[in-house]
Amino acid sequence: MSGELLYDGVRPDNPHLSNLSKIEFVITYACTGRCIHCSEGDHPAGGANIDADIAADAVRKIAGAYPIKTVMTFGGEPLLHADTVCKIHAAAREMGVPRRQIITNGYFSKVPACITETAAALAAAGVNHILLSVDAFHQATIPLDIVRCFAKAVTAQDIVLRLQPAWLVNAADDNPYNNRTRQILAGFSDMDIPVGDGNIIFPSGNAKRYLSEYFGDSVPENPYIEDPYDVRCVSFDPDGGVLDGNVHRQDVMDILANYRPIR
């Protein structure tokens, strides 16, 4: 379901946020993968997780003041905390946010019944778009049969699903990782899942450590860097950090009102 945006135009007087249209949550840095291209580096088990009710409340407040088009959850592996993901997207649906999206590696359980149940819970919460990370890097440590099980469960729920490979250098480059990724994608041909553009790996975290030989003169830029003077996406960290504040300790609208770019 995607209704009308329910924002009423009452928003903090902050010119640096006047084009805000997206909310992101890094649900957790914990992950079931150990990818050598991961821009975040290593993923220690445990660590902070954003409070589900506070996160959902932040969605309602921000989407009540700004025309938010997308709420996205990712990680780490966000579905290690599927209940939190569901609460966030249910709040987004309640506020009429049209795109309610998850990026996942599809590996949060080995139990088919649990995978099916989680896919149903995501659909019930209003998740309507899933980007599934599949490529040579993810499948070095993440079992493909379980990812396929998740893909089938999601497809059965009529959630839009896209395969989202990471490419090294560019999608056309002939290197062992890209070639393996093409093989893995071909292994999904029986499921008829569209393949998205994916993303080009940039030198950060593990990628900088393990794949530096592939970054020559034209180094790909980090596509996730925001202009601090024109913030279009507010991103929450697992510990509740957002902009200059923390939603576990402050009201999110006060954080937005008081945000100033660092000169």
CB of 141 to ligand SF4, least distance (A): 8
Query: CA dist 145 to 47, 55, 61, 101, 150, Å?
Result: 28, 32, 40, 23, 9
Rounded distance, CA 24 to CA 10, Å?
21
Specify the residue, 35 or 131, whose C-beta has the smaller distance to ligand SF4.
Answer: 35
Minimum Å gap between C-beta 206 and ligand SF4 is 8
Distance CA 98, CA 70 (A): 6
Minimal distance, residue 122 CB to ligand SF4, in Å: 18
Burial label, 248 (beta-carbon count in 10 A; 0-12, 13-18, 19+): middle
Residues in contact with ligand SF4 by the rule CB under 6 A: 31, 33-35, 38, 40, 43, 75-77, 105, 133, 138
Distances (CA, A) of 70 to 37, 81, 143, 253: 26, 20, 30, 18
Smallest separation, CB 30 to ligand SF4 (Å): 9
Cβ distance to ligand SF4 smaller for residue 128 or 206: 206
Where are the strands (E) in the chain, listed by range?
22-26, 70-74, 99-104, 129-132, 160-163, 166-167, 199-200, 233-236, 241-242, 245-246
Handedness of CA 17, 88, 104, 171 (dihedral sign): negative
| Residue number, 23 or 131, with CB nearest to ligand SF4 | 131
The residue among 32 and 116 lying less far from ligand SF4, judged by its C-beta, is 32
Min dist. Cβ of residue 39 to ligand SF4 (A): 7
CB of 73 to ligand SF4, least distance (A): 13
Cα distances (angstroms) measured from residue 39 to each of 36, 92, 206, 210, 257: 9, 27, 6, 11, 30
Sign of CA dihedral 143, 146, 152, 155: negative
For the CB of residue 41, give the shortest distance to ligand SF4 in the complex, in Å: 8
User: Which one, 201 or 234, has the nearer CB to ligand SF4?
Assistant: 201
Q: Which is nearer to ligand SF4, 28 or 116 (CB)?
A: 28
The residue (of 6 and 185) whose beta carbon lies closer to ligand SF4 is 185
> Within 13 Å, how many C-alpha atoms sit on residue 172's CB side?
0
